[in-house]
Homo-oligomer: A and B are copies of this chain.
């Protein structure tokens, strides 16, 4: 059985030293120090530099030995030739955690570099130093006031993300935040030598601050341990695994990237499912699943109500829902009678999905229908198409759209059943439309709704999470 390591002081260090710190803006040795300042890190920050007297306002030290206080975490921007010496210094000073941004190890394909990587791991194990990396950006944990890039969002939340790739971690953080995800513990573990994906996952499984976990993996050194940890985590919270390097070309590319051995796709898919986790096959799917898992309550079943958009969108929505395993339950009599009371001519025409275009002038809106359908025991969950392009073509379209979205936000926010909102990406050349679409999306997201750019993506994500 895998023993979850205690990574409290890795994600929330009380003091951080940056080895290879630099006064040169736009160098990693500067940016790691600068990020701590930007994020309001409250503990001691010790830049270590042979040349600079201070870095970003923090007095620098010549070596780790010279640092006066205790150090919970050392971040290394040194070249690979310096890392064994650094590990020795960490061991001597009893530094519990070392993160190596330093790369050029086994991922280069060079035999000497791979040998150095083996020595590195042995030295860390012998010295009692837990290692994150090498060849990774390290940590982004807004709650701990630490980040691998100063421009990442500062709002903290319960979404954890593990990533073998650094750029992918940055993209998920930025894009996820724009969709309402608030991140907790994010780690780009690179080559994952000591703190493997399995160990990181096992830690997050038991971390009370983590409510949903996403992970991007190209390969793992210890398959059995990984799936043990995955099972542990998935039993407690939603876990989404994006396994890349699924193809021969992808696996080849992965091995030159982070020295990961990518295994068989089918084996991975089966194991992910058996562990109770959910598989994503693209970053888009990771984000859609994390948004749905983090922002929506769980559905009790698969009977879906769909409203909004014109007739074409209704047909497309029904297709997407059924193709993702939902039951598009016809409008129940109770709801139909409520429609009849207000709009007799529509009562025998309107259905599920609700076609917004036939409601015009009836005194009924798709929001009104959504409210009726959510209140009916016939439905377990809903998808609400905003149908923004229809609004935009009308006078005061922006105001009408905002009004409808506010009403939708109130209905969805009060619902114990999950309601996914579909608002398209801002794809228009009209500057006025761009502004109103961005504004409406921001409002919906700020009110905590799960917003998807297409009904197909909404239905796909909901379909993976529904019982």
Contact = CB atoms under 8 A, between A and B. Distances in A.
B427 A438 contact: no
A137 B349 CA distance: 20
Interface in A76-100: none
Contact of A355 (B109, B153, B257, B426): B257
A353 B165 CA distance: 15
A218 B428 contact: no
A428 B178 contact: yes
Interface in A140-190: 149-151, 153, 163-168, 170-171, 174-175, 177-179
A318 interface: yes
A434 to B, nearest CB: 7
Interface residues of A, number: 84
Nearest to A455: B282
Contacts of A392: 151
A150 B394 CA distance: 10
A155 to B, nearest CB: 9
Contacts of A164: 312
A254 interface: yes
A390 B252 contact: no
Contact of A247 (B248, B319, B425): B319
The residue among A109, A247, A427 with the most chain B CB atoms within 10 A of its own CB is A427
Contacts of A25: 395
A151 B134 CA distance: 54
A311 B168 CA distance: 9
A353 B434 CA distance: 34
A6 interface: no
A101 to B, nearest CB: 12
Contacts of A109: 348-349
Given A165-B315, A175-B428, A254-B315, 15 more contacts: A107-B311, A151-B430, A165-B312, A166-B310, A166-B312, A167-B309, A171-B424, A175-B424, A244-B312, A245-B315, A249-B318, A252-B318, A258-B311, A284-B454, A284-B456
12 contacts: A26-B395, A149-B393, A163-B312, A164-B312, A247-B318, A252-B318, A252-B328, A257-B312, A282-B316, A284-B456, A425-B426, A434-B438
